[in-house]
Structure 1
Amino acid sequence: MQGFLSNVSPSNSSSLFEHGSNVLWIQLFMAVLSIVGSGSIIVFAIFQNLRRTAEERALFILSVADLMLCFTWLIGAVLLKQTCDNRDACYNLHAVEQMLYMSSFFYTLNYTWALCKGLKEEYRTGMTDHSKTW
């Protein structure tokens, strides 16, 4: 165990980020997966007109926020490929990414809350319907 921890040093861990190639490919792959996932939910919701209930609206808004976040990932991957000589652009992009991360987190909480409220209401109506049959 001690031998494993002795190999970890700031110089060894920073070599991954010096060239940026591995990070670039991971970032591109995750962005493409997010675009496919969020885009398919958005396209399905638009074509099926599924924004009627609170759960569907919350999921639609969450998908839009995730789609915007993955576009910033793509822009970040392009800037990482160019080693981002413009520090202001990198800083501003990182700030926008962090805001989109937070909005995505809060929209996830909103979707979970709407889903729980819908399930609770469905359970209550099921209990009242069940008690009427007895």
Structure 2
Amino acid sequence: MKKFKDWIPAITIMMIIFALSSLPGPAVDAAGLNKYSLQVSSHLILHMLLTIAYYKATKNIPLSILLTVLYAITDEAHQMFTLLRSPSLFDIYVDSLGSLISGLFLWKLLPTLPKKLKIWLND
């Protein structure tokens, strides 16, 4: 049961990403979510968080990055089946960049994190 608990943050973030990418094109425009800077920053931040959540579950930085990039690819493929949406290689690049930033953060800064955060990530 403890192992499943470690996956809850990753599953939650994946559900949020899936829900956002399931919005039809007109709904995205109406909500003002189609602004370029908002789109890029949300892709970057959500995939940074997803990499950290995968790390919590796997305790493996390269695997966390790989899982995030694979999820980004499947998410873009999923948009082929969403009304007035289309997949974007640029989004995959931004998602991958977010994942790499988180991986670098975990690799370099994990030893210097506050004790409570380190315990949460490695518990």
On whether the aligned pair clears a TM of 0.5, the verdict is no
Q: Which has the higher contact order (CA 8 A, sep 6+)?
A: 2
TM-score (norm 2): 0.37
Q: Radius of gyration: which is bigger?
A: 1
- What is the TM-score when the length of structure 1 is the normalising length? 0.34
Q: Could you say which structure has the higher helix fraction?
A: 1
